[in-house]
Amino acid sequence: MENHRKKMKYVSPQLNVEEVEMEQGIAAGSAAVKPGSSSNEVKSQWDTGSDSNSNVEW
């Protein structure tokens, strides 16, 4: 008895590329925020400083 195998048609692989442009969020996970000072004290009040009256370019 002979084994006859039916050959399947070759389908070449495909590569799809989608380019996504982000407006914001690229550095969302790169900052480390630690409450308190270097002596591990947590401040309960804001530090008051001089007011800044300058224009900010966006």
CA terminus-to-terminus distance, the chain: 80
pTM assigned to the model: 0.23
Contact 36, 42 (CB under 8 A): yes
Reported as a single tens digit per residue, the pLDDT across 2-42 is: 667 888 999 999 999 999 887 766 666 666 666 656 677 77
One-letter amino acid of 14? Q
